[in-house]
Amino acid sequence: MRFDYNLEPGGSLSNRFAAVTDDPLVSIITPYFNSGARFEQTYRCVLNQTFPYYEWIIVNDARTKDADRETLEQLAKLDDRIRVFNTGELSIAQARNLGISQARTEVIVPLDADDLIETSYLEYLYWSLVTHPDASWAYTDNATFGDEEYLWQQVFSGKVMKNENIAIYSAAIRREALEEVGGYTDIGQHFNEDWHFWLKLLAKHRRPVHIEKPLFWYRWSDTGALARFQKDEQLIKNNKRVMAQVAKDVPDEIQAITFSGRRAKEFEKPHTWDWNKTLPFAEEKTRILMLLPHMERGGADKFNLDILKNINRDKYEIGVITTVPAESEWRQQFMQWADDIFELPSFLDMNDWSAFIHYYLQSRKVNILWNISSYYGYYTLPWLRTQFPELAIIDCVHAEGQYWRAGGYPRVSAAVDSVIDKTFVTNEFTRNIMVEKYGKEWSKTQVIYTGIDEIEFNPAVVECEGIKEKYNIQEDRPTVLFLCRIAPEKRPFLMLEVAREVKKRLPEVCFLVVGDGPQMSEFKGKVHDYGLTNHVYIAGAQADIRPYYKVSDLFLLTSIKEGLSLTTIESMLMGKPVISADVGSQYELVTQDTGILVSCRQSESEDFDRRTFPREEILDYTNAICELITNADRRSNMGQACREKVLNGFTLSTLIETMEKAFVAFVRPDAIRQRHTLSKSLGTMEPLLLDYITLFEAFQTKDLESLEIWSGREWYRQLYEEQISTRRDLQVAAAASVEPNPGTSHTDQARLEAELHEIYQMRSWRLIQRYRRFMDYTRTGKVLRRILNVVLSD
């Protein structure tokens, strides 16, 4: 998902905390000179920090207007953490050095008066620096906004830094490192003091921590000092000359500490940090921590996001911690609703994850820990029960995972059932498996259906004009919607076989494909090869999927595995009948009144990701589609029944009401007393429970390594498909290149095609194609590519 520059931090004050009386741990240094209204947003960003243990030193230039000076003085009176120093005329370097001289802490964070920071900026920086004593500063990626918009995400390299400043100016810097190099060098206003400062540190063999998340927002102005500087060739020349003097002592090989792909130190015992502070919240609320794997586009994360959006904010506060390295497509969406967000793989080594979770629970006085599909989280739960006797521990399971880790989340949830207060399951099918197969206690499980907003998904209010026209589909053409991730579990290639069969019987029917996924490239190729380009229309991923439901006549789901499909609920709320594989708990929604269930004739263990399908199953889907497409009255009756069924128990309002009732029960005094007893008995086993986490971290390390190796299996298959696609493209290009020349004979064209064929058969060509796929699609390849980019850019 594209980065949304409209979601700037600091839009309003959260007023989350009361007065902070603890000593500061971080000093923010801000030079100020006539920043005006822009400073108000920066002010809100600082006051909204999740880590309030800071002092803010503002160095105010003598040339500042009286109105701005008065504003600074008023703000300082409102918060004891703010100190304003009125000075003479100073350069940025002088102002920063003055602020540093007045700082009372060992961690310094430069921040200009018009730039912005995400709410968790200080907390990310502080803990990544504290946990890496061999690093001298910590910084994040950067979102540039204002007159220009782009993400600055550069791989750090000492060699590159000699010729180009690829590190942002704001960071958490150790005071002793600052003092060793004499702070910022002052050579006047038109000088890149930040770059020079980093080079001085690098020349002392000091390295940074690089957090690869855009938590810092740099405001770009086309009329600003930096923009003017970059247009002055003489200033640039002088600047480079000064940089070269210090850059000669910078080692080429120096690199930043990063966390993508980092491994745990094997068999290192989990630990806690020496921390006894509790955040000074302004209001008493029930505080909940969601432990999640990631924040990716999909049904499971939509469930989490819907909880965050709709929970009663007057009563509850919810933070999010994730435990799986991921792109986090929906991070910005989560940030709009969660009170905290911390992606552990992006700023801590795995050995510190349990310490951070412990710190978070303690610093926020969390009442309820809710583990939702975090595999790592499950292995910390028994130990956390010994550490926090009053903490309610619950989990949520969406689907049965028979062929992943011998049962996946249902198995591991049952394994730690004794320390869990309640397990919520989003469908009956999975609940029955957990109890019957894995021994989960029935009384401790509760079905909560994944709810959909009945107001948002109301066909009466959804606009869909122009959707079919966009894909050149006639308005009255019967349309089957296939909305899902284009991935093996959804069997998209079975859908294409069904489309081929339907085309024979009802050529007027078309299929509208909405979604994306790892198999999309191959899927598009098959559509072309099967001659379905006028019958299967690919829309790709869409931000608003409701219009696509509305313009369709049916919804099709061909999955080999499901829990209870979220898209099925959405489709039914939009009044569309469903033709679905009879897998998981689909039977709870898809009945003879709301659609047609089709028997799945393949097994996940033997047929996962096959490209051939039972003829009987293809015909079952075809018959169901043709039956409903040709019977408008039945379709209409089913559509009404679909919406009514969802409204009677599958809505978002029902889900939220159920969850809030459960939350109230978890924090009752009698429930807390029971947990105290269990915590005390488990306390005698703490060494064993810590070793339980240790063993999992060792396993997870090896699992990540093996995943990189075995991902080659998918890589080889994709390589084959790409070769076919590339061959087709080259043939088209070759034909196009000779067609305009009237002197080109059929013999010449045949010779050219023969030469192309010869190229395809060459071992070097095949190696090039393998190399490309390796570098583009494997984790190791991506890391190597980034390193090569740094080396070759010199």
Distance CA 551, CA 503 (A): 20
| Domain-ending residue, one of 223, 247, 271 | 247
> Tell me, what CATH number does 486's domain have?
3.40.50.2000
pLDDT at 630 over 60: yes
Is 336 within the bounds of a domain? yes
pTM > 0.75 = yes
Residue 785 has a pLDDT of: 54
Q: Which structural domain range is residue 755 located in?
A: 700-792
Based on the fold, state whether residues 553 and 496 are members of the same structural domain: yes
Distance CA 415, CA 281 (A): 36
Sheet order of strands, 510-514 included: 536-540, 510-514, 479-483, 554-557, 578-581, 595-598
Residue 787 has a pLDDT of: 53
Residue 488 has a pLDDT of: 94
Based on the fold, state whether residues 43 and 108 are members of the same structural domain: yes
Based on the fold, state whether residues 404 and 519 are members of the same structural domain: no
Instruction: Summarize pLDDT for 431-445 with one digit per residue, the tens.
Output: 999 999 999 999 999
Task: Please state, in angstroms and as integers, the Cα–Cα distance from residue 208 to each residue in 131, 180, 355, 604, following that order.
Answer: 12, 15, 22, 46
Instruction: Summarize pLDDT for 631-665 with one digit per residue, the tens.
Output: 999 999 999 999 999 999 899 999 999 999 999 99
Tokens at residue 256, please?
């930043």
Query: Comparing 225-239, 281-295, 324-338, which segment has the lowest mean pLDDT?
Result: 225-239
Return mean pLDDT, the chain. 88
Residue 533 has a pLDDT of: 95
Residue 129 has a pLDDT of: 97
Residue 451 has a pLDDT of: 86
Task: Please state, in angstroms and as integers, the Cα–Cα distance from residue 280 to each residue in 283, 316, 318, 365, following that order.
Answer: 9, 16, 16, 10
Q: How many CA atoms lie within 13 A of 683 on its CB side?
A: 10
Based on the fold, state whether residues 645 and 673 are members of the same structural domain: no
Residue 1 has a pLDDT of: 59
pLDDT at 467 over 90: yes
Confidence of residue 626 (pLDDT cuts 50, 70, 90): very high
Tokens at residue 131, please?
């946990």
Confidence of residue 224 (pLDDT cuts 50, 70, 90): low
Is 281 within the bounds of a domain? no
Residue 765 has a pLDDT of: 44
Based on the fold, state whether residues 727 and 672 are members of the same structural domain: no
Is 686 within the bounds of a domain? no
Based on the fold, state whether residues 45 and 123 are members of the same structural domain: yes
* 653 CB-contact burial (10 Å; exposed 0-12 / middle 13-18 / buried 19+): middle
| Domain-ending residue, one of 247, 270, 296 | 247
Residue 262 has a pLDDT of: 62
Distance CA 447, CA 424 (A): 6
Residue 793 has a pLDDT of: 46
Instruction: Summarize pLDDT for 552-567 with one digit per residue, the tens.
Output: 999 999 999 988 899 9
Secondary structure (3-state) at 753 = helix
Residue 80 has a pLDDT of: 94
Based on the fold, state whether residues 349 and 433 are members of the same structural domain: yes
> Do the beta carbons of residue 9 and residue 118 sit within 8 Å?
yes
Mean pLDDT, range 537-551, rounded to an integer: 95
> Tell me, what CATH number does 37's domain have?
3.90.550.10
Based on the fold, state whether residues 297 and 327 are members of the same structural domain: yes
For strands 368-372 and 392-397, give the pairing: parallel
Identify which of 275, 279, 298, 295 has the alpha carbon closest to the alpha carbon of residue 287.
Answer: 279
Mean pLDDT, range 417-443, rounded to an integer: 92
Instruction: Summarize pLDDT for 766-776 with one digit per residue, the tens.
Output: 444 455 555 55
What are the beta bridge partners of residue 340?
319
Q: How many CB atoms lie within 10 A of CB 25?
A: 18
Q: What is the percentage of the chain residues whose pLDDT exceeds 70?
A: 86
CA dihedral 168, 173, 178, 181 (to 10 degrees): -50
Mean pLDDT, range 444-455, rounded to an integer: 91
Q: Which residue has the higher pLDDT, 667 or 709?
A: 667
Query: Comparing 151-160, 399-408, 640-649, which segment has the lowest mean pLDDT?
Result: 399-408
Domain count, the chain: 4
Distance CA 528, CA 532 (A): 6
Instruction: Summarize pLDDT for 36-83 with one digit per residue, the tens.
Output: 889 999 999 999 999 999 999 999 998 888 899 999 999 999 999 999
Confidence of residue 496 (pLDDT cuts 50, 70, 90): very high
Write down the number of H helices and E strands in the chain.
Answer: 30, 22
Residue 701 has a pLDDT of: 78
Mean pLDDT, range 211-238, rounded to an integer: 80
Instruction: Summarize pLDDT for 501-513 with one digit per residue, the tens.
Output: 999 999 999 999 9
Q: Which residue has the higher pLDDT, 421 or 405?
A: 421
Query: Comparing 490-494, 520-524, 785-789, which segment has the lowest mean pLDDT?
Result: 785-789
Instruction: Summarize pLDDT for 738-774 with one digit per residue, the tens.
Output: 443 444 444 544 554 555 454 444 444 444 445 555 5
Secondary structure (3-state) at 516 = coil
Is 461 within the bounds of a domain? no
Residue 119 has a pLDDT of: 97
> Do the beta carbons of residue 553 and residue 530 sit within 8 Å?
no
Confidence of residue 716 (pLDDT cuts 50, 70, 90): low
Which long-range contacts (C-beta less than 8 Å, at least 24 apart) are formed by 298-303? 298/485, 299/398, 299/450, 299/565, 299/566, 299/567, 300/372, 300/373, 300/398, 301/330, 302/566, 303/372, 303/398, 303/426, 303/450, 303/566
Helix or strand (DSSP H, E) at 696? helix 686-738
Is 21 within the bounds of a domain? no
Residue 678 has a pLDDT of: 87
Is 623 within the bounds of a domain? yes
Identify which of 71, 8, 81, 66 has the alpha carbon closest to the alpha carbon of residue 39.
Answer: 71
Residue 506 has a pLDDT of: 97
Identify which of 46, 28, 44, 181 has the alpha carbon closest to the alpha carbon of residue 107.
Answer: 28
Is 710 within the bounds of a domain? yes
Identify which of 702, 703, 780, 696 has the alpha carbon closest to the alpha carbon of residue 353.
Answer: 696
> Do the beta carbons of residue 293 and residue 375 sit within 8 Å?
yes
Is 56 within the bounds of a domain? yes
Based on the fold, state whether residues 235 and 306 are members of the same structural domain: no
Confidence of residue 363 (pLDDT cuts 50, 70, 90): very high
Based on the fold, state whether residues 444 and 510 are members of the same structural domain: no
Residue 741 has a pLDDT of: 41
Q: Is 312 left (phi over 0), alpha (psi -120 to 50) or beta?
A: beta
pLDDT at 784 over 60: no
Tokens at residue 690, please?
């810590």
Based on the fold, state whether residues 581 and 493 are members of the same structural domain: yes
Instruction: Summarize pLDDT for 89-105 with one digit per residue, the tens.
Output: 898 999 999 999 999 99
Query: Comparing 154-168, 507-521, 719-733, which segment has the lowest mean pLDDT?
Result: 719-733
Based on the fold, state whether residues 437 and 475 are members of the same structural domain: no
Residue 550 identity: K
